Amino acid sequence: MAKLAVWLPVLTTGALGVAIGLRKLDSPLSDDREKKLRKLLDRYREQLLPNAERLAELEKEFQAQLRAGLAKSVAVDGKHMMMLPTFVTRLPDGTETGECFALDLGGTNFRVMYVRLGAGKGEVAECDVEEVTLPQEVYTGPGDKLFDFLASTLKNFIDRHTATRAAETAAATGAHEAALPDPVVGFCFSFAVEQSGIASGKLLEWTKNFTCPGVVGNDPVALLSAALQRAGRPCRVAALLNDTVGVLAAQRYLDSDTEVGVILGTGTNACYVEKLSALSKWRAPAGSGASGRTAVNSEWGAFFSPALPRCLEDLAVDAASFNPGKYLFEKLLAGMHLGEIARRMLLTIAREVPGLFVASPKDAEAAAHAAASTEPGPVPPPKPLPSKLLTPGSLPTASLAAIAEDGSWQLLATRGRLSRELGCHWPSKRAADVAKEVCTLVARRSAVLAAMALLAMLRHTGWAAEQPPRPVTIAFDGGVYEKFGAYRKMIQDATCVLEQLPKFPPCPVPTLLLAHLLLATTTPLLPQDALAEQLGDQAAELAPLIRHTLSHDGSALGAAVLAAAAVAEADAPHPSALDAAAALAGAAKAMAAAAAAPAAAAAAKAMAAAQAAMAHVPAAVQGHGHGPAPAPSAPATGPSGLPSYPSVPK
C-alpha cells in the first residue's frame, strides 16, 4: 500500500507528461498547410488509383499484348510481355513420386530444397528447405562466380542429405562406398528465359538488380551443371523453370483446379495454363502435347501501357533503376520498388508541407553548416529535411507493409519507424497518418493492377464464360503476398473495388469481373448477400468459384515436382517411341514379303499390307522422302542427359 502511495503520483505525472507531450506534438498544421497537404494526397490518389474507364482500357491493352505474344516472338525490350513457352505440357496431378532437390533462385535470397514425394496423391512425405542470402558482389559480379556460389551451397546441402543414405546403402550392400546415382535437381530460375527444352534455354535479360555479365544469352542449366562439376558434385538438372511455373505446378500437385501461378515478391510475374492451339508461335515437342494445354510464362512485369497509373515519383524510381524504361509494370507492383516509391512521395510531401516531417537537431545543424559554406542566394534556403528521408532505399517494403497495417494506439508504431528509419524528429500523429495513407495507396495500386492483370488472363482463357461454371484456383507466392496481410486483403477484399464502384459506368462487364476477382476469397470478407446486391447475379455466381491460395515455398516445391516428373518421363520407355518401333518393324516385314512375293497379285497384296502398316508409323518418324521410313534415332541429349527438344520456332 505504501509502495502504491509512492508510485501513484510518479505514474500519474508520467502519463500526464506523455499526454501533454503527444498533444503538443499533435498541434494541427496551419489551415493553408493542411489544405495543401490534402490537395497533394488527393492528387496522388487520383494518379495512383485508376478509375473504371482506365481499368477497362488497361485490361484491353493487357489482353492485346498477351495475344500478340502468343502469336509471335516479341521484341525483348522490357516493354512487352514475352509469353514464353515453358515446355511444361503435362502439369503434375499429384501422382508424381520420388526424391528430388531444388535450387530456387528468385531474388537476392535463394533456396535449396530436398523433397520426397510420397505414394499418396499429392503427398509430400518429406521436405527440407534452407534459405541463403546472396551477397551483392555475387549478384552483380561475374556470372561464373554466381553459379559457383549457387553450386557450392547446393553441394553442401545435398552432401548433408545424401551422407546418411549413402551410409545406409553401404551397410546394406556391404560395399565400402555406395555409388548413388547423380542427384536429380529442379532449377527454378526466376528470370525471363527462352526455353529450348524442359531443361535448357537462354536468359533473355536480367531483372531485380542482377547484372552478372556472361549469363544473358547463355543456358542457365549449362552454367549450373558446369559449376556443379567444378564443385565436385555433378547432378542431373532435369527441369528448368520460372518461379511462376513452380508455384503453378506445386499447387496443381495439390489442387487440380489451379490455373494460374503468381509471384508478388521482389519481382512479379504470372503464368497460366493455355491451350496449345492458342500459343501459335510454338510447336509442342513430338509426343508431348496430349493434354492439349501448356503453361505459359507471361513475364507480365514487362507489360507497358501509357494508361498505367503513374506519378512523378514512379518516373524517378524508374530513372534511378539499373534498367530504366523497362519492366515498368513490375516497378509499380513488386516489393523491390514499393517502399522506395512511398519514400519519394513522402519526401515530396515533406518539401511541399514544411514542418510535417521535421529534421533532427543534428540534421538541422548539418544543413545550417552546409548553407553557411555556400554563397547566400536570393531565396532563403529551404527548411532542413530529415537526412534519412533523403536517402534512397531507406524505407524498405517491409516497413511500408508495417506502416500500412499499423493499428497501434495513436500510430505510435509508425511514429517510431518514421523516427528510426527516416530520421524524423518526434513525428506527429498527423505525420504518421500521412505516411500510412501514402503506404496504403502505393500498396493498393499494386493490388488493383495485379487483380486487373489476373482478370485479363482469366477472361482471355474464356473461363468466365464457361458453362457450367467451374472453380479456379490462383496460387500466389512471394514476400509481398505472403507477409503483408493487408495487401492480401486488398486483392481479396471488396472494399478496394467497392470504393470505386460509384465512379464506374453502369455495369460494365470488365468492372463486374474485376470486382468479383477482387472479392473472391476462400473466406469472403463481405456477406455474400451484400456482394450479390452490389454486383448482380453474375458476380454472385462466379465470385465463390475463385480461390486465392498462398503456395508457401511453391516455386521450389514445384521445381522438385517437375524435375521428378521429367525424370520419370525420360527414364520410362516412351510409349510413342515403342509404338513407332513396333509399327516400323511391321511395315519392314510387310515390305520384305512384297519384294519376295513371286506373283504380281501376291506382290500387290503384300505391298498393300506394307502400306497399311506404314500408316501406323507415327508421322514424326516417317521422314519426308518417299523411301522407307528411317529407323527411329535416339533423341539428342541436352546437358542434363534428358532428351533435348526442338527449339522454339520463330
In terms of CB distance, is 65 or 242 closer to ligand BGC? 242
Considering only 150, 184, 192, 556, the residue that binds ligand BGC (CB under 6 A) is 192
Encoded one letter per residue, x for contact with ligand BGC by CB under 6 A and - for no contact, window 250-269 reads: -------------x-x-xxx
Residues within window 583-612 making contact with ligand BGC, judged by CB under 6 A: none
Interactions with ligand BGC, residue window 444-503 (CB under 6 A): none
Give per-residue burial for 301-339: e unless 16+ CB within 10 Å, then b.
Answer: bbbbbebbbbbebbebbbeebebeebbbbbbbbbbbbbb
What is the DSSP track for 223-239?
Answer: HHHHHHHHTT---EEEE
Return the residue nearest ligand BGC (CB atom).
267
For 501-639, strand residue ranges (E) read 546-550
Instruction: Determine, following the binding rule CB under 6 A, whether residue 553 of this chain makes contact with ligand BGC.
Output: no
DSSP for 269-335, written as a single string: EEEEEEETTT-TT--PPTT--TTSEEEEE--GGG---TTS---HHHHHHHHHSSSTTS-HHHHHHSH
Stretch near ligand BGC under the rule CB under 6 A, chosen from 47-55, 194-202, 239-247, 574-582: 239-247
Residue 347 Cβ vs ligand BGC, minimum distance, rounded to whole Å: 26
CA distance 216 to 193: 9
Q: According to the binding rule CB under 6 A, does residue 208 interact with ligand BGC? A: yes
Element (H, E) at 125: strand 124-133
**Residue 106 binds ligand BGC, judged by CB under 6 A:** yes
Nearest residue to 405 (alpha-carbon basis) of 367, 375, 443? 443
Residue 294 φ/ψ, nearest 5 degrees: -150, 160
Q: Which is nearer to ligand BGC, 268 or 414 (CB)?
A: 268
Minimum distance from residue 319 beta carbon to ligand BGC (Å): 18
Q: Which is nearer to ligand BGC, 330 or 421 (CB)?
A: 330
The binder of ligand BGC chosen from 153, 195, 225, 242 (CB under 6 A): 242
**Shortest Cβ distance from residue 296 to ligand BGC (Å)?**
13
Of 266 and 511, the one with the shorter C-beta distance to ligand BGC is 266
Task: Tell me how far apart the alpha carbons of residues 338 and 400 are, in angstroms, rounded to a whole number.
Answer: 7
Cell 524505407 belongs to 395
| Closer residue to ligand BGC, CB minimum distance, 213 or 355 | 213
What H or E segment, with its residue span, contains residue 529? helix 528-542
Candidates 185-193, 231-239, 505-513, 641-649; binding stretch for ligand BGC (CB under 6 A): 185-193
Q: Which is nearer to ligand BGC, 140 or 419 (CB)?
A: 140
- In the stretch 282-321, what mask flags binding to ligand BGC with x, by CB under 6 A? -----------------x-x--------------------
Q: Are 329 and 318 in contact (CB under 8 A)?
A: no
- Interaction of residue 246 with ligand BGC, rule CB under 6 A: no
- Give kind and range of the element (H or E) at residue 133: strand 124-133
* CA 442/CA 450 separation, integer angstroms: 13
Query: Which residues in 7-46 contact ligand BGC (CB under 6 A)?
Result: none
Q: From the list 243, 259, 421, 493, which residue makes contact with ligand BGC (rule: CB under 6 A)?
A: 243
Nearer to ligand BGC, 191 or 357 (CB): 191
178 — phi, psi (to 5°)?
Answer: -80, 130
Which residue's CB is nearer to ligand BGC, number 330 or number 406? 330
CA distance 452 to 105: 27
Element (H, E) at 621: none
**Count of residues engaged in binding ligand BGC, rule: CB under 6 A:** 17
CA distances from 108 to 136, 241, 353 (A): 8, 18, 37
Binding window for ligand BGC (CB under 6 A); candidates: 20-28, 49-57, 89-97, 237-245: 237-245
Strand partners, 114: 101, 128
Exactly one of 191, 282, 476, 645 binds ligand BGC (CB under 6 A); that residue is 191
* C-beta closer to ligand BGC: residue 197 or 267: 267
CB of 77 to ligand BGC, least distance (A): 14
Q: Nearest approach, Cβ of 255 to ligand BGC (angstroms)?
A: 21
219 counts as binding ligand BGC under rule CB under 6 A: no
Nearer to ligand BGC, 82 or 227 (CB): 82
Task: Tell the smallest beta-carbon distance from residue 341 to ligand BGC (Å).
Answer: 17
Choosing from 59, 104, 314, 330, the residue that interacts with ligand BGC (CB under 6 A) is 330
Tell whether residue 74 is a contact of ligand BGC (CB under 6 A): no
- In the chain, the amino acid numbered 4 is L
618: cis peptide before it, omega within 30°?
no
Closer CB to ligand BGC, residue 302 or residue 353?
302
User: Which among 66-74, 187-195, 233-241, 519-527 is the span making contact with ligand BGC, rule CB under 6 A?
Assistant: 187-195
Smallest gap from residue 263 Cβ to ligand BGC (A)? 4
Which three cell numbers, joined as nine digits, stand for 278? Answer: 492458342
Give the Å distances, CA to CA, from 229 to 37, 225, 233.
60, 6, 6
Select the span of 9-17, 133-141, 186-194, 370-378 touching ligand BGC (CB under 6 A): 186-194
Which of 196, 207, 521, 640: binder of ligand BGC (CB under 6 A)? 207
We find the least distance from the C-beta atom of residue 241 to ligand BGC, in angstroms, to be: 10
Closest C-alpha to 474, from 549, 563, 566, 373 = 549
Phi first, then psi: what are they for 30, rounded to 5°? -60, 160
Nearer to ligand BGC, 86 or 268 (CB): 268
Contact between 546 and ligand BGC by CB under 6 A: the answer reads no
Cell matching residue 468:
457450367
* Residue placing its CB nearer to ligand BGC in the complex, 326 or 459: 326
- CB closer to ligand BGC out of 169 and 305: 305
Buried b (16+ CB within 10 A) or exposed e, 227-248: bbeebebebbbbbbbbbbbbbb
Which H/E stretch holds residue 438? helix 429-461
Cell numbers found for residue 601: 497379285
Q: Nine-digit cell at 272?
A: 497460366
Applying CB under 6 A, which residues contact ligand BGC? Answer: 106, 190-192, 207-208, 242-244, 263, 265, 267-269, 299, 301, 330
